[in-house]
Amino acid sequence: MRLFLAIVKWVAAIFFSSTILAVVAYRFIPVYVTPLMVIRCFQQIGNGESVTLHHHWVPMSEISQHLPVAVMASEDQRFLIHHGFDFNAIQSAVRRNRQGGKRKLGASTISQQTAKNVFLWPGRSWTRKGFEVYFTALIELMWSKQRIMEVYLNSIEMGNGIYGADAVAEYHFSKRASDLSRSECALIAATLPNPRKFDSSAPSAYMRKRQRTIEHEMKFIPTFPKEGEDINPDTAAGGVYHHRR
């Protein structure tokens, strides 16, 4: 029993020290590869396909100012004011899911998606969800909102073998991430529920409808603040950020 407890203590110490060190390191170091990128490469090999991985890390200053607003409008409108978990969205999703329906609603925030993309594997098990909660709490504690968004926009899957804002800008729009228009950013955000099904380079009528909806919702999201700046509610036409005044 003593040996078992000693092993548990050592495993716990190694786990917490290594994960905290990784989170601290990624506060400053670009994330060049994620577990999902590696998994997708092995899936391509298993399917007899050529390995395709397009990913260019760029700083937030080289990403269109419209893209963080678009993904917030689409994925997580309260991103700048919650602490990693949107409990209002969780309660709403629980109520909607209890009503039945084939499609279950989620309430995953940008912080949670970033934690999952950078540190974990895809899946829906309670074990992975528990790790997601842990890493989300860590990055919210140790990273700024600007850093979370920067890592998110650089690591998220945005097409088949395409990861991050600069890669999707090049391969779907023939430009740099800094040159993406407001409409193009809304179109990219429209693919995020399933970027391997919804193609921003060849949008369907459904995607165009989502694009228009996101562009409308972007009016209620303030300009994304730079590091050290406060939210400016005057840059949004009402919405939750005006309620905080």
DSSP code string of the chain: -HHHHHHHHHHHHHHHHHHHHHHHHHTTS-----HHHHHHHHHHHHTTPPP--EE----GGGS-THHHHHHHHHH-TTTTTSSS--HHHHHHHHHHHHT--SSPP----HHHHHHHHHH--S---HHHHHHHHHHHHHHHHHS-HHHHHHHHHHHSEEETTEESHHHHHHHHHSS-GGG--HHHHHHHHHHTT-TTTS-TTS--HHHHHHHHHHHHHGGGSPPPPPTTPPP-GGGSSSSTTGGG-
- The pLDDT of residue 73 is 96
pTM of the model: 0.91
Cα separation, 208 vs 18, in Å, equals 44
Task: Report the pLDDT value the prediction gives residue 123, as an integer from 0 to 100.
Answer: 82
Residue 243: the pLDDT is 67
Secondary structure, 3-state, 21-83: HHHHHHCCCCCCCCHHHHHHHHHHHHCCCCCCCEECCCCHHHCCCHHHHHHHHHHCCCCCCCC
- How high is the pLDDT of residue 118? 95
Q: What pLDDT, on a 0 to 100 scale, did the predictor assign at position 97?
A: 58
Instruction: Tell which residue, 16, 9, 28, has the closest CA to residue 147.
Output: 28
Distance CA 196, CA 117 (A): 15
Q: Euclidean distance between the first and final Cα of the chain, in Å?
A: 57
Nearest CA-CA partner of 180 in 71, 36, 50: 71
CA atoms within 13 A on the CB side of 191: 26
Residues of the chain with pLDDT under 50: none
Those residues with Cβ within 8 angstroms of residue 177's Cβ, 6 or more apart along the chain or in another chain: 58, 62, 63, 64, 67, 164, 165, 166, 168, 169
**Tell me, what's the pLDDT at 238?**
85
**What is the structure's pLDDT at 239?**
85
* Per-residue confidence (pLDDT) for residue 154, from 0 to 100: 97
Cα separations (Å) of 212 from 135, 168, 198, 202?
33, 20, 15, 16
In angstroms, rounded to a whole number, what is the distance separating the alpha carbons of residues 26 and 31? 7
Q: What is the pLDDT of residues 88-117, one digit of tens each?
A: 766 675 566 566 655 555 568 999 999 999
List the structure tokens of 124: 């829906």
